[in-house]
Structure 1
């Protein structure tokens, strides 16, 4: 912390507030926080600092939206996500900062483009619920594909949020179902990532000290997000998620 300037600390504080806001309002906005942390801190080390802040935001989001989660979707995703987390851990053993930024940025921009194309050509999909039947082969393949990508990107750079946001949007989730399912998903996944991050040396005493100072900014961000989410139109909500994904991906590619 003694090597950070006042401007850098202010940027990290704003990004921490955006973590809270993204967890309770617009999930894709979290990529901006990721880009800020990766710009201020070394890319690899930034993932270890950001992870405890994300978990704090996940806890707040679960407290608010826990009743809106769609567990069949979560259960379909988790096996593929686990495979992605293992792949991401292996990748982090040899990847340098530049490789991490370029890889994640490219994935985010590509997935946003795929989702935009699908939403323009697909018919409207009802929100998942009690009337749905068993998942089709296509739905299982899509869940596995997004799950592996989500697990890989969340392990490498805490960037699984945009990938999962794109999956939930493509599955037809509305705001509350989207936020509730996303909240439980990332609380479980981010918590399981902690031992891997400690083993890679990404979380240590210094990173936790910085987290202790930044945690206070996550809380007001989450409160603002909860107040704003009911005022955001569904179509606008989806556009913000996609736009934030593209912006975050381009920032990582161009940094």
Structure 2
């Protein structure tokens, strides 16, 4: 049997890649925002295109656990309404990746992560200012779906970093916890399936990235299952600011 075409990484780099896989598992079942850290770690270890393909496959592995865990909790009507905008964003991202160089893709990943953090902070400030108001109607509008859906499709195609966009959108829609997690899980399960043929056609998914995903799959699955158990008990008020700070720290080097 031929050996897996794995990259030549140091033991420390392999440990960091395993950590990225664990964070991908956490992102799928309990804290979607941790995917940004996983993306940044993977991008720091591998060439930008290779890291994007490997991370996509890791996240798709977590998707399988997430959709099984929250199979009855998704808002299907919302997902169907987002489809046109997301497809447009994914297509634009695929075109960008076909034209962009490896270094420019790396910088875009860093810039996108920082932009999404800024969007997240602004949205949270606005939500606190209007805490007593119901924002579901304004959030669930054609304009909001177009903006959030297309941006989520583009950022997830280019950098596997659509989580912050959708998290803020679903929070603005004021979903209960299970509905939020279920809708997020099914959203990215469908989006990543749509992304897969694009990623194969432009070379992001290849023998090396498939091998990396196969090696890290047990970590993703195990941590995702553990995250499912923690979802109802974890206090996000302390954890989420730490995620934002760590994402900023990991994204800044990508801009250099």
**TM-score, length of structure 2 as denominator length:** 0.86
CA distance in 2, matches of 1:19, 1:185: 16
Q: Bigger CA drift: 113-122 or 66-75?
A: 113-122
The residue aligned with 1:113 is 118
Deviations 1:68-112 (A, max 9, x none): 111222122111010001100110012123322322332332333
Number of positions where the alignment pairs a residue of Structure 1 with one of Structure 2: 248
8 Å CA contact retained: 2:7, 2:208: no
Q: Does residue 71 of the first structure (1) align with residue 76 of the second (2)? A: yes
- SS of the counterpart of 1:88? helix
The residue aligned with 1:191 is 193
Q: Does residue 100 of the first structure (1) align with residue 102 of the second (2)? A: no
Deviations 1:139-191 (A, max 9, x none): 22122111111111111121112221222223223322211001000111101
- SS of the counterpart of 1:93? helix
- SS of the counterpart of 2:71? helix
The residue aligned with 1:17 is 22
Q: Which residue, out of 138, 150, 153, partners 1:151?
A: 153
Q: Bigger CA drift: 230-239 or 100-109?
A: 230-239
What are the within-5 Å matches in structure 2 for residues 1-255 of structure 1? 1=6, 3-122=8-127, 123-124=130-131, 139-233=141-235, 235-236=237-238, 239=241, 242=244, 246=248, 249-250=251-252, 252-253=254-255
Following superposition, the deviation at residue 53 of structure 1 comes to: 1.5
- SS of the counterpart of 1:67? coil
CA distance in 2, matches of 1:31, 1:111: 10
- SS of the counterpart of 1:148? helix
**TM-score, length of structure 1 as denominator length:** 0.87
Question: RMSD across aligned C-alpha pairs, in angstroms?
Answer: 2.4
In structure 1, runs of 5+ residues without a counterpart are: 129-134
